[in-house]
Amino acid sequence: MKPRRAPQSGQISYNTSQQQLNEVVAIIKLDPSAHELLRHPLRELHVTLSVKMDNGSTKIFQGFRVQHNDSRGPNKGGIRFHPDETIDTVRALASWMTWKTAVMDIPLGGGKGGVICDPKAMSTGELERLSRAYVRQLGDFIGPEKDIPAPDVYTTPQIMAWIADEYSIMHGKNKFGVITGKPLSLGGSAGRTDATARGGIYCVRLAAATLGLNLEGAEAAIQGYGNVGSYAHKLAVELLGMKVIAISDSNGSIYNPEGFLYEGVMAHKKNTGSITGFPGAAAISNKELLELDVAVLFPAALDSVITETNAMDIKAKIIAELANGPTTPEADTILYKKGVYIIPDLLCNAGGVTVSYFEMVQNAYGNYWEEEEVQQRLEKKMKTAFLAVLRTGQNHKVHNRLAAYIVAVERVAEAMKLRGWY
3-class secondary structure, 66: strand
Is 52 designated active site?
A: no
Task: Judge contact between 398 and 27, C-beta under 8 A.
Answer: yes
Nearest to 227 by CA among 279, 192, 187: 192
Task: Judge contact between 74 and 108, C-beta under 8 A.
Answer: yes
Nearest to 355 by CA among 379, 319, 330: 379
3-class secondary structure, 422: coil
Task: Judge contact between 231 and 302, C-beta under 8 A.
Answer: no
Nearest 5°: phi and psi at 249? -140, -165
Q: Round to whole Å and give the CA distance between 186 and 161.
A: 7
Q: How many CB atoms lie within 10 A of CB 393?
A: 19
Residues 6+ apart with CB under 8 A from 329: 16, 19, 20, 23
Task: Judge contact between 71 and 419, C-beta under 8 A.
Answer: yes
Beta bridge partners of 297: 221, 319
Task: Judge contact between 263 and 271, C-beta under 8 A.
Answer: no
Q: Round to whole Å and give the CA distance between 56 and 408.
A: 49
Nearest to 69 by CA among 103, 104, 94: 94
Q: Is 342 left (phi over 0), alpha (psi -120 to 50) or beta?
A: beta
Q: Round to whole Å and give the CA distance between 247 and 230.
A: 9
Catalytic residue among 2, 59, 100, 112: 112
Q: How many CB atoms lie within 10 A of CB 136?
A: 15
Nearest 5°: phi and psi at 280? 80, 0
Nearest 5°: phi and psi at 151? -70, 155
Catalytic residues: 112
